Amino acid sequence: MHEAERGLFDLQRGRPICVTALGDHGTAGTVLLATVEGLSTRTLKQIQGIGNGRACLAVTGYRAEAMGLTIPADGRAAMSLGLCVSVTPDEILSLSSTSDDCRVGSDDVRQASPPEVGGLTLAKLGRLLPAVVFASVDESTASDVRELIKSGAVLSVTTSQIDTMASAVRVEVTHVSDGPVPLREAENARFMSFREANGILEHVAVIIGERSNWPDPIPVRIHSACLTGDLFGSLRCDCGEQLQGSLRVFNERGGGVLLYLAQEGRGIGLGNKLRAYALQQEGLDTVDADCVLGFGADERRYDAAVEMLRHLDVRRIQLLTNNPEKVRAVREGGIEVVERQALYGTLNPHNQRYVRTKVQRAGHWLGEMLPGVIQGE
């Protein structure tokens, strides 16, 4: 396992890691950091000890805007700010994730350094809240940190290792296993499990019908996991209805392929999705809620879907989607999208704003289905 992946897993376990930026003449900066999510009092005190009594908070550019921090004129950038000595983990979590009183007036604010940005990158990859508590390592504490690393208490990762992991042009997936799973909407179904090469995410391809009976182009649905909608029938979204609807289409047309991707909450993870729901309850739409938490409007990627289609030797498809980004991503991956078929859910009082936001802020093709909602009626 690569060091960056080990670092990600340590952060998910609530453990601190050491992140170093290497320059042309050696070390250009080192920090000891931990994610705000799962931060314990013990870890906070450990980081404060390295910082000679103080710790700092690094947040993404999206969160910095929500906090009212002044960001560089050349674009959205991650920012860092000093924390008071008496701050608690709960107070840091609130500062990093809520919409109430999140504007800060700290004079100790600057653009985040490469090691701090590296920590934020790992947090996002691990579906954690993208905010990290850190302390810079200087000459007075360098020996203490080296001892922590030598003893195995803290893992050391470089920013270049993190960048290599995060910027992989192509996501590699491996077929792990498969087996028959008869479904209510399609009895002749087979599930195929795929795992990304870094071991972080697992995806599923659901094969409906016999390939010899599939139409041309092959119907394909790329569906991002939604525990609340797919399993529990949440009224906040239309995901569950789209999932079941796609299976019915496949069955009626002689078969097809459903790609079920582990991208809960548009790629932010279940924990952050529930945080976003709480913010939506306060009046924010889905995009603004995600941005308040430090994420972009849509954090999903479709590289794994393209690789799964290649593994299945599926090259010409009819894509069941209302999302133009899926069409673009699949085509850029070399899959021929011959045509698109709309896939609608049912409008209810709980999902009207969600649907309107998808159209108005993400460009989804839902206007024909919901003209009254789109116009605010």
Which residues are the active-site residues?
298, 300
Q: Which residues pair with 218 in a beta bridge?
A: 317
Tokens of 333: 């991956």
Tokens 């593994």: give the residue: 311
Say which residues have a Cβ less than 8 Å from residue 250's Cβ, sequence separation at least 6. 186, 208, 209, 219, 221, 256, 257, 258
**CA–CA dist 5, 329 (Å, integer):** 26
Starting at the edge strand found earlier in the chain, the sheet holding 131-136 runs 109-111, 79-82, 56-59, 131-136, 26-35, 17-23, 155-158
**CA–CA dist 118, 136 (Å, integer):** 14
State the distance between the two ends of the chain, measured CA to CA, in whole angstroms: 54
Omega of the bond prior to 217 within 30 degrees of 0, cis? yes
SS (H, E, C) 261-283: ECCHHHHCCHHHHHHHHHHHHCC
| Among candidate residues 165, 127, 129, the one with its CA nearest the CA of residue 19 | 165
Task: Find the radius of gyration of the CA atoms of the chain.
Answer: 23
